[in-house]
Every structure is written in C-alpha cells, then in structure tokens.
C-alpha cells in the first residue's frame, strides 16, 4: 500500500476532504493521484518530483493546489534508497 493510501485510510471517514492537505515524499502515482482527485483533497505538498514525476501536473490541471518543495535532501535520500533497494523501488512503481 502506498503511503498516500495509508494516510487516507488512517484519516478515517470525513464529511468532506475539501480543505485537506496531503503531504507526501514523492509526487503521487496515478492511483494515488486518482484518490486525491476523487475525494476532493485540496492541496498536496510534495517533497520532490525528481526521482519520480507522478501525477502532480495532472492534479494541478484539475484544480488541486500543488506545493512542490524539490528538497535536495529528499532527492538525495530517494536516490540512495533507489540505489540500495532497486527491486523494492521497481515493485513500488510498477516496473
């Protein structure tokens, strides 16, 4: 399960998710982007979109506020993870 999905489930049922901010390390994948769009989450804060581009541009085109930090430390952490765990990374991104 991706972290965005886990966070959404942990938040529990809400009358509305409008006004909600989701914070994520990477740009959400297409599945998680669909979740954001379907439930009307208003804003997504993204640590970096260098190692995985995801669906943040599509979300922005559909009215979701995107805060893209492109934090160098986050990029470095993800590059190290990808180098150290390539099989897990490829499984996670569907390759």
The answer to whether residue 31 is domain-embedded is yes
* Closest to 69 in 3D by CA, of 95, 43, 89: 43
Residues pairing with 46 in the sheet: 24, 68
User: Where in the sequence is the domain holding 72, given as residue range(s)?
Assistant: 17-92
Q: Please tell me the total count of domains within the chain.
A: 1
For residue 63, tell me if it sits in a domain: yes
CA trace torsion 67, 71, 77, 81 (10° rounding): 40
Is residue 58 in a domain? yes
Q: What is the pLDDT of residues 23-65, one digit of tens each?
A: 999 999 999 999 999 999 999 999 999 999 889 999 999 999 9
Q: Is 4 inside any structural domain?
A: no
pLDDT of residue 92: 79
**30 lies in some domain:** yes
Domain CATH for 46: 3.40.140.10
Q: Does the predicted model carry a pTM greater than 0.85?
A: yes
Phi and psi, residue 36, nearest 5°? -60, -45
Residue 62 is encoded by which pair of tokens?
Answer: 């559909």
Catalytic machinery residues: 4
């Amino acid at each position: 399960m991706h972290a965005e999905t886990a966070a959404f489930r942990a938040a529990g049922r809400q009358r509305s998710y409008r006004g909600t901010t989701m914070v994520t390390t990477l740009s959400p994948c297409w599945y998680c982007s669909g979740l954001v769009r379907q439930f009307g989450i208003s804003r997504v804060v993204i640590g970096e979109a260098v190692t995985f581009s995801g669906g943040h541009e599509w979300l922005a085109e559909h009215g979701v506020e995107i805060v893209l930090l492109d934090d160098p430390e986050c990029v470095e952490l993800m590059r190290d993870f990808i180098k150290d765990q390539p099989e897990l990374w490829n499984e996670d991104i569907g390759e």
